[in-house]
C-alpha cells in the first residue's frame, strides 16, 4: 500500500467517525441542537448549513494557540433584512466582507470564503422555472455543487448534463475507519464513491443547498458578476440575488412595490420563506447527510 499524502490525511481526519474529528456526524449533531438536529432526524438545508457554519466557526486550541477548523470564512446566505418575507436570498457584499474580517480577527479585509445558499424551490417538487438557473450554477468556476436529492435519499450533486444531474450517494454502509494524523497507511477506499449515479434534475427534492468557494476578492467579484447575470436572466425567478448592502431594493425577491410603495407578494413560483424562526419548521423531506 502506498503511503498517503499528509494533506489528504488531514482532510480525512476532519471528517472521521469520532468526536475527535471536528466535522464528524457526532459534532454536527451537537452543533445543530439549536436547529432541532437529532440522530436519524430529517432536517432541511437551512438547519444543516447553519450547523456546518457553527462547526466551522468553532475555535480549538493547540499549544495555547487558538485556530479555526477551516482556513476560510463561512457565509450562509439568507433572505431580506427583515427575515420575514419569502423570495430569493440575497448575497450581501457587505456581509461577506464582514465574515472575512471576523474570520481574520480584523487582520484582513478579505479571505477565502465559502458561501452556502439554502433554498426551498417548491412544495413537493422543484418548480420548473428554477431548473435552468440550477443548471447554470454548475458553469460557475466557484461552484461546489448541490446538496440535494429526493425524498428518502440525500445526495451530493456534482454536475449536470442536459436535464440530468450526476450525484454521489453517501449512504452506503461502510466499516468504520479510524483516520489519525499519523495514519499514513490507512485504507481510505470507503471514503470515496466508485459509482456516479444520475437522476432527472426535476426529480430532486426542492429543499437543497448550493455551495460556492471564492479564493480571494477577485474571485468573489467574478462570482457576484456571474450571479447578477444569472438573476437578470431568470425571468423573475432568481435562485438568489446580489446586493452591496442590506438596504431593500425596489424589488424584493418575488414581490414588487405597487404605486403606494406597498409590497405585493408573488407566490406563483412556489418559493417558501426561510428565516431563523421558521426555517426548521418549514423544511421536511430532507435527509441528514
CB atoms within 10 A of CB 155: 25
Could you state, in order of their start, the residue ranges of all structural domains in the chain? 71-274
Helices of type H across the chain: 6-14, 25-31, 45-57, 93-103, 131-137, 217-232, 279-282
pTM recorded for the entire structure: 0.79
Query: What is the rounded distance in angstroms from the CA atom of residue 76 to the CA atom of residue 55?
Result: 13
pLDDT at 160 over 70: yes
CB atoms within 10 A of CB 89: 21
Q: Which residue would you say has higher pLDDT here, 79 or 270?
A: 79
Percent of the chain at pLDDT > 90 equals 37
pLDDT at 148 over 80: yes
pLDDT at 200 over 50: yes
The dihedral over CA atoms of 65, 66, 71, 72, expressed in degrees to the nearest 10, equals -150
**Contact of 35 with 47, CB cutoff 8 Å:** yes
Query: What is the rounded distance in angstroms from the CA atom of residue 44 to the CA atom of residue 284?
Result: 6
pLDDT at 127 over 70: yes
Task: Report pLDDT digits (tens) over 32-87.
Answer: 888 877 777 777 888 889 988 988 887 666 555 555 677 899 999 986 544 444 57
Amino acid at each position: 500500500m502506498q503511503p498517503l499524502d499528509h494533506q489528504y490525511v488531514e482532510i480525512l481526519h476532519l471528517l472521521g467517525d469520532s468526536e475527535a474529528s471536528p466535522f464528524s456526524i457526532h459534532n454536527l449533531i451537537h452543533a445543530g441542537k439549536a436547529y432541532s438536529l437529532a440522530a436519524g432526524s430529517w432536517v432541511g438545508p437551512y438547519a444543516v448549513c447553519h450547523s456546518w457554519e457553527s462547526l466551522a466557526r468553532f475555535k480549538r486550541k493547540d499549544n495555547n494557540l487558538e485556530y479555526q477548523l477551516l482556513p476560510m470564512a463561512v457565509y450562509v446566505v439568507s433572505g431580506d433584512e427583515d427575515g420575514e418575507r419569502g423570495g430569493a436570498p440575497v448575497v450581501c457584499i457587505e456581509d461577506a466582507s464582514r465574515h472575512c474580517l471576523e474570520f481574520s480577527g480584523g487582520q484582513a479585509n478579505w479571505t477565502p470564503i465559502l458561501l452556502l445558499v439554502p433554498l426551498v424551490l417548491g412544495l413537493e417538487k422543484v418548480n420548473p422555472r428554477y431548473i435552468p438557473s440550477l443548471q447554470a450554477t454548475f458553469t460557475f468556476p466557484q461552484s461546489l455543487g448541490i446538496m440535494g436529492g429526493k425524498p428518502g435519499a440525500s445526495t451530493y450533486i456534482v454536475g449536470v448534463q442536459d436535464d440530468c444531474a450526476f450525484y454521489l450517494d453517501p449512504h452506503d454502509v461502510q466499516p468504520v475507519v479510524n483516520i489519525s494524523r499519523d495514519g499514513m497507511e490507512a485504507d481510505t477506499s470507503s471514503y470515496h464513491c466508485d459509482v456516479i449515479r444520475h437522476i432527472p434534475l426535476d426529480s430532486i427534492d426542492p429543499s437543497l443547498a448550493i455551495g460556492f468557494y471564492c479564493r480571494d476578492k477577485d474571485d468573489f467579484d467574478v462570482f457576484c458578476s456571474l450571479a447578477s447575470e444569472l438573476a437578470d436572466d431568470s425571468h423573475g425567478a432568481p435562485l438568489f440575488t446580489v446586493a452591496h448592502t442590506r438596504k431593500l431594493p425596489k424589488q424584493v425577491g418575488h414581490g414588487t412595490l405597487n404605486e403606494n410603495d406597498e409590497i405585493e407578494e408573488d407566490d406563483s413560483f412556489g418559493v417558501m420563506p426561510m428565516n431563523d424562526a421558521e426555517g426548521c419548521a418549514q423544511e421536511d423531506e430532507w435527509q441528514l447527510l
